[in-house]
Amino acid sequence: MGRKLAAGNWKMNGTPAMLDGLKTLSAPNGTQVLICPPAPLIHRAAQIAGPVAIGGQDCHTQASGAHTGDTAASMLKDAGATYVIVGHSERRADHAETNAQIRAKAEAAYAAGLTAIICIGESEAERLGPDCLDIIAAQLDGSTPDGATADNTVIAYEPIWAIGTGRVPTLDQIIETHDMIREKLTNRFAAQGTTMSILYGGSVKPSNAAEIFTAQNVDGALVGGASLKPDDFQPIIDALAAS
Ligand code: 13P
């Protein structure tokens, strides 16, 4: 069992006015709440977020240098972030990010003192094929640094075909996949792997969150669309707290 984390990924959405909604979110005892707004909003978000932690959506592998348009992990930290998402499937697709790059980004996050949320997950064709769990296991292995601990790393399993579609895997598929991830983490990282948090992401809503959180190795959620409105996100947080 890892830390209970309800994480919201705003993706390329969000206005300064939306930050007011952060003030209305509450984090019940034992549950951590995180919002990852677009980079330009991180500083303001961190100043008003109260019990809500703030994170970035990506960082560069390098600490500084000639990388126009990119953001170093230390800059996110300076702006008030404590987490950073790396290897989201939208970045893997839009920016051709490889497992090796994502591993290097996670290492950059550690060096800056950030917790890395490392995303993995299969395409629909992979889900329908015979090697789905092997493909996810290879992503996990390739994207996770040797220095990962329960403190500096969270794993997010996000099936690509479930993101923004309203479709979710069956509970049995979620259980099978998260159990496999837990086994791999425990084999590689021993005690640290038993308590590293594993989030499920992909069309998590108030209506399905409680059922997803019944899975033993689901420690929380990485939520896209439903994290944009406090009225949708708070019930998901509360379902996690009650699980
Ligand atoms: P949705 O919750 O909108 O499906 O997005 C999931 C996601 O990609 C979170 O990172």
- 208: in domain: yes
* Residue 243 belongs to a domain: no
State pLDDT tens for residues 71-87. 999 999 999 999 999 99
Asked if 88 is an active-site residue, the reply is yes
Q: How high is the pLDDT of residue 11?
A: 98
* Ligand 1: centre distance to CA 220 (Å): 13
Q: Let me know if residue 138 belongs to a domain.
A: yes
Residue 21 belongs to a domain: no
What distance in angstroms lies between residue 145's CA and the mean position of ligand 1's atoms?
A: 24
Q: In this structure, is residue 37 part of a structural domain?
A: yes
Domains of the chain: total: 1
Return the residue whose CA atom lies nearest to atom 9 of ligand 1. 224
50 burial via Cβ count (<10 Å: 0-12, 13-18, 19+): exposed
- Residue 125 resides in a domain: yes
237 domain residue, yes or no = no
Q: What is the pLDDT of residues 171-204, one digit of tens each?
A: 999 999 999 999 999 999 999 999 999 999 999 9
Question: Does residue 72 contact residue 39 with C-beta atoms inside 8 Å?
Answer: no
Residue 63: pLDDT over 90: yes
Average pLDDT of the chain, as a whole number: 97
User: What is the reported pTM?
Assistant: 0.98
* pLDDT value of position 49: 78
Residue 242 lies in a domain: no
| Mean predicted confidence (pLDDT) in 216-224 | 98
Local confidence band at 1 (pLDDT 50, 70, 90 cut-offs)? confident
Amino acid type, 153: T
183 is a catalytic site residue = no
Q: DSSP code of 21?
A: G
Ligand 1: which residue has its CA nearest to atom 1? 224
Q: What is the CATH number of the domain that holds 147?
A: 3.20.20.70
Residue 97: pLDDT band with limits 50, 70, 90: very high
Contacts of 177 (CB under 8 A, 6+ apart): 133, 136, 157, 169
Q: What residue numbers bound the domain in which 187 lies?
A: 5-11+33-63+71-231
Phi, psi at 219, each rounded to 5°: -100, 0
